[in-house]
Amino acid sequence: MSSFKDKFQPQRAHKYYKITGFYSFVLESIKKSMPPVLVVVGLLVIFHFFVMPLPEALDLAVSELPSYGVLAFFFVSETLLGLVPPELFIAWAGKTSEPELNLFLIALLSYLGGMCSYFLGRWSLKIPAVHNYLEVKMAKQLIMARKWGGILIAVGALLPLPFSVGSLVAGMLRYPFKSWVIIGLLRFVRFALYGAAIFSIV
């Protein structure tokens, strides 16, 4: 009976990933998703120092805005490119009277928002210009993305990158929906870990 070591050899896997372009694909995907994230972070820094400190803004949001309004805004954000960092909403949840419940709700809404993004990607294929651009001008990248699409979704689900963007691309690439549903569950893991960290400092 073969051992796990015989089945999985790190050096061989590393060589395979390098030759097939897996590493370059992941790095390129991350680089392309970073500019909008950096823009939003920059705007938040400006807001913090020139308008209102973010902790005060969170306190104001908790006291003045109804929970359903904050949650609705978060769902829209997570559906449309997810440019507002979820960490802000996690911190908001930590300030509410029911932090665990609101943390679960924003995790669920993020997951559902990514699902909506996935179907928006599938719908966009009905637009001839989008379909032709993917199938003709991005044929090489398309092959790589279809091969490693699951990794792209996992990266978006776990790391501070727009989950919506990865889901949108997955839909455009016709990545199997059942696989997206399973991999997308990592989103709950991310919110649980970030919640535990952020709740301890808010």
Residue spans per domain, the chain: 9-199
- Per-residue pLDDT band at 1 (split at 50, 70, 90): very low
CA distance 55 to 48: 9
pTM: 0.71
- On whether the CB atoms of residues 34 and 44 are closer than 8 A, the answer is no
pLDDT in tens, 111-127: 999 999 999 888 887 87
DSSP string, 101-160: HHHHHHHHHHHHHHHHHHHHHHHHTTSHHHHHIIIIITHHHHHHHHHHHHHHHHHHHHSS
Residues of the chain with pLDDT > 90, as a percent, come to 19
